[in-house]
């Protein structure tokens, strides 16, 4: 995947329900926040990893690519026979205009197997996670990632597994960090979940705005 750091994006799929109804954020403010996040990610020269589907992650990736972002990687369960991936295809093939020319948002795809495997492993394909809101899906992806991180780190007796055996593209390493963008959450993670993540060797950091995000992302690049 090159020398640049990879950041996995996770967050709600239903933008109107989560950001407008639950958070009370108007569309103009949301768009401004998306652009701020994208600007930071582009200037930090990080690559993005996400599920190519509707939602906040896709909107950030689109803004990132529109600003000249280098690389966006999609995680797709190509082998799934239960739910299929038809609903992902419009996002997989989506484009954005850059300097007057249409450019594909996604540069490559990682085959995650089935949807069950996708949910378990997708957040491990980055050097860090950028958490863009709390939903059933984002909480599942977060907690599954740190549970597998626990196994990879040898913290469960009787289980000995390397990340590359789970999937060769997994990148999560030492001090695997989740950056939570506070304008996109009402509350912080529960103390119990936070303690478990710390116990397995992970880190949670909260950022209040784009400047704070820039600081934390740049620190990940050191």
Query: What residue ranges do the domains of the chain occupy?
Result: 6-221
pTM: 0.96
Q: Is 67 helix (H, G, I), strand (E, B) or coil?
A: coil
CATH 3.40.190.10 fits 6-221, yes or no: no
| Averaged pLDDT score across all residues of the chain | 95
pLDDT tens readout for residues 17-55: 999 999 999 999 999 999 999 999 999 999 999 999 999
pLDDT tens readout for residues 87-102: 999 999 999 999 889 9
Q: How far apart are CA 131 and CA 202, in angstroms?
A: 14
Cα 72 to chain centroid distance, Å, stands at 11
What are 11's two structure tokens? 């967050």
């Amino acid at each position: 995947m090159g020398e640049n750091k990879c950041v996995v994006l996770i967050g709600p799929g239903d933008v109107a329900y989560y950001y407008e109804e639950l958070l009370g954020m108007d569309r103009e403010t949301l768009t401004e926040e998306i652009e701020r996040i994208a600007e930071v990610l582009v200037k930090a020269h990080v690559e993005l990893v996400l599920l190519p589907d509707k939602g906040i992650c896709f909107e950030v990736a689109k803004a990132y690519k529109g600003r000249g972002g280098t690389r966006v990687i999609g995680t797709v369960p190509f082998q799934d026979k239960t739910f299929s991936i038809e609903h992902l295809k419009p996002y997989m093939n989506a484009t954005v205009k850059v300097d007057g020319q249409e450019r594909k948002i996604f540069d490559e795809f990682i085959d995650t197997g089935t949807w069950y495997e996708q949910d378990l492993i997708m957040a491990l394909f980055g050097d860090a996670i950028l958490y863009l809101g709390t939903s059933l899906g984002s909480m599942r992806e977060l907690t599954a990632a740190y549970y597998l991180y626990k196994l990879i780190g040898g913290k469960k007796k009787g289980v000995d597994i390397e990340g590359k055996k789970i999937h060769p593209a997994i990148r999560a390493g030492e001090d695997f960090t989740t950056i939570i963008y506070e304008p996109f959450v009402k509350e912080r993670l529960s103390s119990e979940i936070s303690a478990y993540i710390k116990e397995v060797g992970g880190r949670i950091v909260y950022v209040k705005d784009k400047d704070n995000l820039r600081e934390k992302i740049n620190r990940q690049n050191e």
